[in-house]
Amino acid sequence: MNYNLKKYFNAINVFFLLLISILTAINFFLDLSSAYIYFFCFLLIATIGVSHGAYDGKKGEILFNNKLKNWKFIFYFTYIALVILVFVFWYLNPLISLIIFLFVSSLHFGKEDLEIYLDKKYKYHLFIFFLKGSLIILLPLFFNFEQTNIIFNTILFSKDYVLLSNNYTKFILILNLLIQVLFYLYIYLKKKLTRDDFIAIIFEIFLIIMVFYLFAPIVAFTLYFCFMHSLKNILLISNELNPILFKGFQIFVKQSLFLTLITFFILFICLIFLTKLNLLENSIEKIIFIGLASLTLPHIILHYFSEKY
């Protein structure tokens, strides 16, 4: 991973700190209703959040264009079929679906947050990826247990289910952070991690803790997903398209805009339909988390084949 890209990633972390500082100040002076906040979160995820996934169409072309005769039909049919499969399975068994989604998402978030710093394959790298990504699940439970549990029950179509007790959450979170810090410190002392990279990883963990401490779960997740996870993915793709960042970003926008708009339109139609049956906040929770779960499976499978081949 080149040095300039690491500089950009670190710049995103600084931008993220500035962003949450400004939003904290705004939140202190303004008392916005939850409906406005939820709708704004929906807009961010349905545009910035899904945009890096919208580039999957171009990745599919690069991967399959010269290998399959009717690659477009096969690729998009398979991709959409996997999305629908997740929707159906979630409807039939929401609890198992949620557990799988949380596990896979933890690996996905952790891998994409850390792989720029951990260049080599470590024996326990998948475990560390999982620990890093699982902070996105444990921290809202730790700081806002009741509110997070309500969100879980909404997407589980339940009312009184407790996925993880408060005491277990505290113990697992403390153990998680302790193992991570000791691991990063160990590989730093073994000179397998530079001082700058060690600081960058710890700083990013600090930022994730802060955003979930300062904001409600849905807001904190939106900020992390859009302005840390997605923004770094967009930067990575742009750099692959052209080392001159601005030119690479222009190419990315052109190649992902169409699918981003289609995805936004579909999610917006789903929102209109669901708000006739549920509260706006509950509808947005279902769209964000069940929708992301359905998009995550084909997205991760495509990433696996892209990296392998």
For 3-55, what is each residue's pLDDT tens digit? 678 888 999 999 999 999 999 999 888 888 888 999 999 999 999 998 888 88
pLDDT at 177 over 80: yes
pLDDT at 24: 93
The DSSP code for 242 is: -
CA 13 – CA 185 distance, rounded (Å): 20
pLDDT score of 122: 62
254-263 pLDDT, tens digit per residue, is: 988 888 999 9
Q: Which has more confidence, 167 or 206?
A: 206
pLDDT digits 0-9 by tens, 117-129: 886 566 678 899 9
Q: CA-to-CA distance for 69 and 84, rounded, in angstroms?
A: 24
For residue 235 the two structure tokens come to 């930067």
At residue 192, does pLDDT exceed 90? Answer: no
Query: Is residue 1 over pLDDT 60?
Result: no
> For residue 286, which of 302, 270, 298, 297 has the smallest C-alpha distance?
270
Q: Could you read off the pLDDT of 270-281 as tens digits, one per residue?
A: 999 998 887 889
Q: Supply the range of the domain harboring residue 35.
A: 3-308
Residues 61 and 24: their CA atoms lie apart, in Å, by 42
The domain tally of the chain equals 1
The four Cα atoms 11, 13, 18, 23 give a dihedral, to 10 degrees, of 140
| CA neighbor of 63 nearest in space, from 295, 302, 248 | 302
Contact present, 122 and 109 (Cβ < 8 Å)? no
pLDDT bracket for residue 179 (50, 70, 90): very high
Q: Is 122 left (phi over 0), alpha (psi -120 to 50) or beta?
A: beta
How many H helices and E strands in the chain? 14, 0
- Rounded Cα distance, 151 and 284, in Å: 10
